[in-house]
Structure 1
Amino acid sequence: MTGAAPMLIYDGNCGFCTRSVRLTERLPVHVTLTPWQETDLAGLGVGEERAEREVLWVASSGRVAGGADAFAELLTHSRGAWPLAGRMMKLPVIRTFAAGAYRLVAANRYRLAGATPACQLPPNQRPGRRASSGRQC
């Protein structure tokens, strides 16, 4: 992936996730937004379980960051004042807080505004989901 635009990979089956990622289109950053369901995860060295659990930032170098760290990378690679916010998110105390907040939102994303009705179904009843999948929406 060296030299390519960085990618932000998200859960395309989750309405809250999709709407949240669409907000990043307003940031002054060159990034490819793609749902994990349409991504060659194995080619990136990422398992499906991780992609189901957190948003992923894939740098031009191929390095992968997830969750709050992915958003910190997104901000760091933006223009304007955003890189400062991204660097601040990488500071130890703020990083710990951001990671906790991210996990809380991710665990409850099906309850938040923008979630689709499919997100409220049990995992084995969601569209495009395997019965054995323990995915959160």
Structure 2
Amino acid sequence: MERSTFVYDGDCAFCTRCAEFIERRIPTEVTVVPWQFADLDALGLTVAECEEAVQWVGADGSRAAGPDAIARLLGTSNAGWRAGGGLLRLPPVRVAAWPVYRWVARNRHRLPGGTAACALPQEARERLYGPTGRPPAAGA
């Protein structure tokens, strides 16, 4: 793999807004992609892993999830963002970051930009909204 990849849930509006922030504000060469459009097999990821947390797959094959993945992403940017990533890697911060991350993941449908679909597992989202994230056409 030539570039590191950061994988998020593209069916979640809150997650998508966060990914858009990354692409606009955090200068990095990392590929930021929704898992629904990523080659999960090539990345060595499963749907279950991607539904549980954001994922990092480094160009060197390293992997991380949740706040650890965010720390890795930040570590590829400029000095200010790298400092934030380094802070997130400190053991006491890392220990606190996981419960916060899990709370955000469970409540992402209530956060700014979130929608009711954000709270559903992938199988239920596809049943309601189709594989593209949009409701099936009438009569389909």
Q: Structure 1 unaligned runs (5+)?
A: 130-137
Percent identical among aligned pairs is 43
- Cross-structure match for 2:138: none
Equivalent pairs counted in the alignment come to 127
Mean alpha-carbon deviation: is it higher for 20-29 or for 118-127? 118-127
Q: Distance in 1 between matches of 2:119 and 2:48?
A: 19
- One of 21, 24, 34 as aligned partner of 2:22: 24
Question: Residues 27-51 of structure 1, C-alpha deviation per residue, up to 9 Å, x if partnerless?
Answer: 1211111110111212222111010
Q: Distance in 2 between matches of 1:104 and 1:117?
A: 16
- One of 3, 11, 14 as aligned partner of 2:12: 14
Q: Distance in 1 between matches of 2:51 and 2:77?
A: 25
What is the TM-score with the length of structure 2 in the denominator?
Answer: 0.82
Question: Residues 2-41 of structure 1, C-alpha deviation per residue, up to 9 Å, x if partnerless?
Answer: xx12111110100000001111111121111111011121
Q: Distance in 2 between matches of 1:71 and 1:92?
A: 15
How far 1:118 moved relative to its partner? 3.0
Q: Distance in 2 between matches of 1:120 and 1:64?
A: 25
Structure 1 contact 119–126 (Cα < 8 Å) conserved: no
Q: Distance in 1 between matches of 2:8 and 2:22?
A: 12
Flag as ranges the 4+ runs of structure 1 deviating above 2 A.
116-126
AA aligned to 2:69 is: A
Specify whether residues 118 and 73 from structure 1 end up closer, same or farther in structure 2 by C-alpha distance, changes over 3 A only. Answer: same
SS of equivalent to 1:57:
strand
CA RMSD, Structure 1 to Structure 2 (Å) = 1.8
Q: Distance in 2 between matches of 1:60 and 1:121?
A: 31
1:72 to 2:74 alignment:
no
Q: Structure 2 unaligned runs (5+)?
A: 132-140
What is the TM-score with the length of structure 1 in the denominator?
Answer: 0.84
1:113 to 2:112 alignment:
yes
Q: Distance in 1 between matches of 2:85 and 2:120?
A: 35
AA aligned to 1:15 is: A
SS of equivalent to 1:101:
helix
